[in-house]
Amino acid sequence: MKSTGIVRKIDELGRIVLPIELRRTLDIAEKDALEIYVDQDSIILKKYKSSCVFCGSNEDLGDFKTKCVCAVCMKELKEE
């Protein structure tokens, strides 16, 4: 893990502000979803990417009854 040297305080609602430099570097825009991971005593934020509920692929996604499904799995579903 690489340190940025940036320190932020948590406000009274438990929020922090991600500096614009980091958001630009990591292509994080307003309203983007972030996944939160915990690794021992570290909190890791990662930009959320939708993925297929069956195979985990995040290419060529579509919706099937409110779930993300890739084109390959969608084809398999139609064949059954």
The pLDDT tens digits of the residues spanning 8-40 come to 999 999 999 999 999 999 889 999 899 999 999
How far is 1 from 54, CA to CA, in rounded Å?
A: 31
- 63, 41: one domain: no
Domain that holds residue 61: 49-80
- 1, 40: one domain: yes
Rounded mean pLDDT of 1-10?
88
- 7, 42: one domain: yes
Q: 2 pLDDT exceeds 90?
A: no
Domain count, the chain: 2
- 6, 28: one domain: yes
Tokens of 59: 């290419």
- CA-nearest of 70, 50, 51, 49 to 60 is 70
- 42, 53: one domain: no
Number of Cα atoms under 13 Å in the Cβ half of residue 78: 8
